């Protein structure tokens, strides 16, 4: 049915490659391109041994718009799945526009020199994608991604009026290292050392990093320490869920993780301000990334489960109500299936499903879209089929 190009041969790129290869009736021709060709080749080899499908590989620098445009024109895919880093979003959107290719990513644009992520840069492409008759689907991972779709589903089927949303992300897995991040360390640490923010009654409120905490009793993984963070899906959800009064995002961290992070911060290792080291300019966080375990190496050793969901309150038929809609994933089961831990898995599967929605014409409006702007039903159906089953439970009103 369609040719696709996946950009980025990291943890998430690995999962997207495996999952697309398993759906040969939709993804008939797959090319995996990234900065380091050997990483693409290693993934292609694993995909071949697990699925019998051959995917082609290529080296590409996604920051180079001209080279990427040329590559896309030569390959002429229907869609580009961007699972490189958030720094590449705009250059890949530019290349897609020049080559006439639909676009999908899992994280919003972030400038390299500033730890700040916002949709405004990508939303500014709305008219260009519309005029070109192309679709750009933003944030088709788990959070953002599935969490947005959970909210759209709750809006469509479970509530007449949603009032509050708390997005909760728990990773109760253990990889046995003193300190490691489950996805790209640089992106992860930039995200959690930034100030926390949430949205209430039309205003953004800022709090010191990791200063707001609650113990949340999750299904499957039980009570966990959850900290309020800023997360990008709030920026679109507060616009797209009418009548919303408050939205917050929480992520769980162990005390061990937080102690290591505090020390690294205190000694300046998480800084993005360049320093001179032996005549070379480096960002301390880049160096830290180089010494930390590669997230892709955590797969075989991570045990335990994740649980990510949306705790939503509102009214239905005049009555107040509160629900949790969630998925739980087992790290080892993911590893057995696609040689990857659950964090990359929960991101890669929705990227594959989002691409499928576009290719099947179900989510195919021209322009730039966030996930909750489309009908959630076909996406929710595919989650059930491809390893991310979800459940809804009623909770007592707080
Ligand atoms: P990794 O660091 O494991 O992989 C990123 C890949 O992109 C690497 O292979 C890297 O190449 C490649 N890359 C980086 N720069 C370029 C470039 N200029 N040109 C071509 N390739 C490049 O990250 P993850 O797989 O963990 O994450 C991928 C994306 O998914 C990130 O944007 C992350 O923020 C997002 N994400 C989203 C989540 C969600 O739920 N929405 C959750 C987790 C992640 P090289 O191998 O040479 O370094």
What number is the average pLDDT over the span 203-219?
96
Mutate to test the pocket of ligand 1, among 5, 8, 309 (most ligand atoms within 8 A of CB): 8
Ligand 1 in reach of 347 Cβ (< 6 A): yes
Domain positions in the chain: 2-138, 146-341+390-394
Do the domains spanning 2-138 and 146-341+390-394 agree at the CATH topology level? no
CA dist 236 and 232 (Å) reads 8
Q: In the prediction, which pLDDT does 113 show?
A: 78
The answer to whether the CB of 331 falls within 8 A of the CB of 387 is no
pTM for this model (two decimals): 0.95
Confidence class for position 182, pLDDT limits 50, 70, 90: confident
pLDDT digits (tens, 9 = 90+) for 157-173: 999 999 999 999 999 99
Burial of 75-98, coded b for 16+ CB within 10 Å and e otherwise, reads bebbbbbbbbbbbbbbbbbbbbbb
What residues contact 126, with CB distance under 8 A and at least 6 apart? 367, 368
Q: Which atom of ligand 1 is nearest to the CA of 141?
A: 41
Given a cut of 80, is residue 352 above it in pLDDT?
yes
pLDDT exceeds 80 at position 115: no
Question: Is residue 165 within 8 Å of residue 237, measured between CB atoms?
Answer: yes
The C-alpha torsion from 125 through 185 and 198 to 123, rounded to 10°, is 0
User: What pLDDT, on the 0 to 100 scale, is given for residue 144?
Assistant: 98
Quote the CATH superfamily of domain 146-341+390-394.
Answer: Dihydrodipicolinate Reductase; domain 2 (3.30.360.10)
What is the per-residue pLDDT across 12-66, written as a single tens digit (0 to 9) for each?
999 999 999 999 999 999 999 999 999 999 999 999 999 999 999 999 999 999 9
From CA 204, how far away is CA 336, in angstroms rounded? 42
Does the beta carbon of 348 sit less than 6 angstroms from any atom of ligand 1?
no
Hey, what are 212's tokens? 């707001």
Q: Report the distance separating Cα 383 and Cα 387, nearest Å.
A: 6
Count of CA atoms in the C-beta half-sphere (13 A) of 149: 31
Alpha-carbon span 387 to 120, nearest angstrom: 32
pLDDT band at 112 (very low <50, low <70, confident <90, very high): confident
Architecture of the structural domain at 2-138: 3-Layer(aba) Sandwich (3.40)
Helix (H), strand (E) at residue 58:
strand 56-59
- How many whole angstroms from 126 Cα to the centroid of ligand 1? 24
Instruction: Report the C-alpha gap between 12 and 316 in whole angstroms.
Output: 38
Pocket test for ligand 1, best of 347, 354, 370 (most atoms within 8 A of CB): 347
């Amino acid at each position: 049915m369609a040719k696709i190009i996946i950009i980025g041969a990291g943890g998430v790129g690995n999962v997207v490659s495996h999952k697309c290869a398993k759906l040969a009736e939709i993804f008939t021709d797959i090319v995996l391109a990234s900065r380091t060709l050997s990483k693409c080749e290693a993934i292609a080899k694993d995909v071949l041994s697990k699925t019998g499908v051959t995917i082609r590989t290529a080296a590409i620098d996604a920051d180079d718009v001209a080279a990427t445009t040329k590559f896309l024109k030569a390959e002429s895919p229907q869609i580009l799945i961007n699972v490189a880093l958030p720094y590449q979003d705009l250059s890949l959107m530019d290349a897609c526009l020049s080559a006439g290719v639909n676009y999908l990513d899992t994280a919003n644009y972030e400038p390299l020199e500033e730890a700040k992520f916002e949709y405004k840069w990508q939303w500014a492409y709305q008219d260009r994608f519309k005029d070109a008759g192309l679709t750009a689907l933003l944030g088709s991972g788990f959070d953002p991604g599935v969490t947005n779709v959970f909210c759209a589903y709750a809006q469509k089927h479970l509530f007449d009026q949603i009032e509050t949303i708390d997005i909760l992300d728990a990773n109760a897995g253990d990889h046995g290292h003193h300190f490691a991040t489950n996805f790209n360390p640089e992106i992860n640490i930039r995200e959690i050392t930034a100030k926390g923010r949430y949205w209430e009654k039309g205003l953004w409120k800022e709090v010191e990093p990791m200063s707001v905490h609650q113990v949340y009793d999750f299904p499957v993984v039980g009570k966990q320490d959850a900290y309020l963070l800023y997360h990008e899906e709030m920026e679109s959800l507060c616009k797209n869920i009418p009548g919303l009064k408050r939205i917050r995002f929480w992520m769980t961290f162990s005390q061990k993780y937080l102690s290591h992070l505090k020390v690294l911060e205190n000694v300046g290792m998480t800084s993005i301000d360049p320093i001179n080291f032996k005549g070379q300019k480096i960002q301390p966080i880049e160096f830290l990334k180089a010494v930390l375990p590669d997230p892709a190496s955590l797969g075989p050793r991570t045990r335990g489960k994740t649980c990510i969901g949306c705790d939503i309150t509102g009214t239905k038929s005049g009555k107040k109500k509160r629900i949790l809609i969630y998925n739980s994933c087992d790290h080892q089961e993911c590893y057995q299936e696609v040689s990857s831990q659950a964090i990359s898995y929960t991101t890669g599967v929705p990227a594959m499903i989002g691409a499928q929605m576009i290719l099947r014409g179900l989510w195919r409006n021209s322009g730039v879209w966030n996930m909750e702007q489309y009908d959630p039903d076909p996406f929710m159906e595919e989650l059930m089929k491809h390893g991310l089953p979800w459940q809804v439970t009623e909770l007592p009103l707080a």
